[in-house]
Structure 1
Amino acid sequence: MTYFACHYSYPDGDERIVALRPEHREFLARLKDEGALVASGPYVDGRGSALIILRLPEGAETTDALAVMDEDPFHREGVLAGRDIRPWNPVLSIF
């Protein structure tokens, strides 16, 4: 398997984030059901960001992870302040 770390940044006070959150969570639940989502959730430091860990088939590339995450309503509707998706190597893990 190939892992990717997806870092999201959210704009301060954007009500579109709140409005789209249920659809975003449905998207993540679908990824979990498909076996592609390892974990997701916001950072708790109040800086408006989150981490999503994907597990894609061996040999997957960043473009594959981008294609998956392009379906996220947050991205599709253009409400993210930033998004960074990078390959990740969980050397010590429980995954």
Structure 2
Amino acid sequence: MARFAVELVFGPDREKRLSVRPEHREYLASLVEKGVVLASGPYADDTGALIVYEAADEASLKEVIAADPYSSANVTEWRIREWSPLMGLWLND
């Protein structure tokens, strides 16, 4: 499995994003239960968010992202980076 740091950059339509946010968060919660989302949260300045995913590969991750309500609402830009964490409390070596 690979880990990915995904940055969400919020678009200009804040009202539309906030209307979709409950569905987005429910979706993320379901992914936490499945072990796909390891961490998630918005930036303090409300310009975006960071989500750390675990997936087989980038193609699998893109399928997960495509199913996110934020994707279908087109309220964020998704920046995907494969990440190789070396240290941390939640890492499984």
Report the TM-score, using the length of structure 2 for normalisation.
0.88
Aligned length: 90
Say yes or no: does 1:62 pair with 2:58: yes
Report the 3-state secondary structure (helix = DSSP H, G, I; strand = E; otherwise coil) of the residue aligned with 2:80: strand
CA drift of 1:47 comes to 5.4
* 2:30 alignment partner AA: R
Question: Could you tell me how far 1:12 is from its partner in structure 2?
Answer: 3.3
The SS at the match of 1:35 is coil
Counterpart of 1:49 in structure 2 is 48
SS in 2 for 1:12: coil
Q: Which residue of 2 aligns with 1:94?
A: 89
Cα deviation, residue 19, structure 1: 0.3
Q: Is the 8 A contact 1:12 1:48 kept in 2?
A: no
Shift of 1:11: 1.9
Q: Quick one: which amino acid aligns to residue 24 of structure 2?
A: H
Question: What residue in structure 2 maps to residue 79 of structure 1?
Answer: 75
Moved over 4 A (4+): none
Q: Give the superposition deviation at 1:13.
A: 4.7
Residue of structure 1 in register with 2:15 after alignment: 15
**What is the CA deviation profile of residues 32-81 of structure 1, one whole-angstrom value per residue up to 9, with x for unaligned ones?**
0111110000111x25110000112xxx221111111111100112111x
- Does the 8 A contact of 2:13 with 2:75 survive in 1? no
Superposition CA RMSD, Å: 1.3
1:84 and 1:93 map into 2 onto residues whose CA distance is 23
Per the normalisation by structure 1, the TM-score is: 0.86
Report the 3-state secondary structure (helix = DSSP H, G, I; strand = E; otherwise coil) of the residue aligned with 1:92.
coil
Ranges in structure 2 where 5+ consecutive residues have no aligned partner: none
Give 5+ residue unaligned stretches, structure 1.
none
